[in-house]
Amino acid sequence: MNWNFDNSYSRLSDVFKEHIEPIAVKNPELVLMNKDLVEELNLDFSKIDKNVLAALFTGNILPEGSNAIAQAYAGHQFGHFTMLGDGRAVLIGEHLTKNNERYDIQFKGSGKTAFSRNGDGRAALGPMLREYIISEAMHHLNIPSTRSLAVAKTGEEIMRETPLQGAILTRVASSHIRVGTFQYVAARNKKDELEILLNYVIKRHYPKLINSNNKALDLLNVLIDKQIDLVVNWMRVGFIHGVMNTDNMTISGETIDYGPCAFMDTYDPKTVFSSIDKMGRYAYCNQPAITKWNLSRFAECLIPFIDQDENKAVKSATEIIETFGKKYEEKWLKMMRTKLGLLGEDNKDKFLIVDLLTWMHQNKADYTNTFCHLMNLKDYDDELYKDDNFQKWKKNWLERLKLNNNTQENYTKLMRSVNPLVIPRNHKIENALEKANDSNLKPFNKLLEILKAPYELQENISDYLKMDTSFKDYKTFCGT
């Protein structure tokens, strides 16, 4: 199998985790395995019996060298601080590839831990398959993300609103350390423990900062850039995370925890898909502001290491956090220019971009397809784009495209590099999950295959390009 475990996090003090074995399941059955990722991790399961694989990916047997733990963390959930932890997840170890890249291998849905509170620690097949397909879609959209290695059924029913099939997802990440991990340790008021975590994170993720004169301040700076890049990418493809609590913001800058997430179809900045987000806290348009809010909570944890004088430390941290707005706007504008194929900068660009988004909002245009239409792709023609106001806007856009010696070949190539032709459409995801629950994986695998090449013109996929208007009031759920 070639597992190569080096479990550095589990060697930290027990403050940070609980040693625990996954709880055995009755009748494990492998549903799917990510062969591409298996290869990337330098693993080889080709000679392993399918029953052994099913036992492996449900935690009934653990690979040699693993060391299972549940990680402790806290989180501001919808603004309210709570002490949390892996309530239904077990990190079995850190696998090193041939290139010395380190990846957490984690089971999600593997049973109760010390952090489960009143939960059963289990997960249902639908939400695990949902995380599998959306996390893989994000990876192929070139957006930093946790990935999915396998889904296996447990052979047990779990109770939610109705009885559901139990399942376990094997999740892969460069780490599962979160803003909430720092919050958990900071809440204990033990500076030495916080320092251990700070040094560990820098050594693992940002080794260039090891000799920094102010590690905490530099880490904050790096993380602001990382998180801005991430959320700008989300905005680029119309992705709505749905539950941007501080325990769902990784220190590595990867998208994590695909619960009530979805991709926007009709452009509306206030779009919310999550059934639990009653006030729209995590709506599409609020994602940048929430990112800044979460980073402010991270900065609070680092105060003891920024300066011995607390007032000076708060001032320094605040100054850095306040760079967020300008940095975000610059990166967002750059991203939107690329989506529109614009070279260089022009002081009217922001108006051009905002005018298009306003038109899309007023006319209920499809976000993804509007940019595909602008790339002259025939499958994306729609009567809507014959609208006079759109045609006026398009004339201004075509004039702007002429600046800086731009050519049609240049701007088309630029646009095609960032505008997906296909996204995980909500109705397609739901249809695939519904069929998978009845043991028919064909629609799921077909959708998965199409989402592997989101920027390429693929044959016979017109059925995957349009929104389904019957999904107007679509709601997603956490699956806990």
Contact indicator for 38, 45 with CB cutoff of 8 Å: yes
**Which one from 86, 104, 247, 349 is the annotated catalytic residue?**
247
The terminus-to-terminus CA distance of the chain in angstroms comes to 32
Q: Which residues contact 309 (CB under 8 A, 6 or more apart)?
A: none
Neighbouring CB atoms inside 10 A of 95's CB total 24
Closest residue by Cα to residue 439 from 150, 30, 27, 25? 30
Rounded Cα distance, 68 and 21, in Å = 6
Rounded Cα distance, 197 and 187, in Å = 13
- Token duo for residue 474: 């679509």
State CA 436 to chain mean position distance: 23
Neighbouring CB atoms inside 10 A of 240's CB total 25
State CA 100 to chain mean position distance: 24
- DSSP category for residue 352: H
Rounded Cα distance, 167 and 181, in Å = 26
Q: Residue written as tokens 């501080």?
A: 246
Rounded Cα distance, 332 and 339, in Å = 10
Q: Is 264 exposed, middle or buried (0-12, 13-18, 19+ CB in 10 A)?
A: buried
120 among known catalytic residues: no
Catalytic site residues? 247
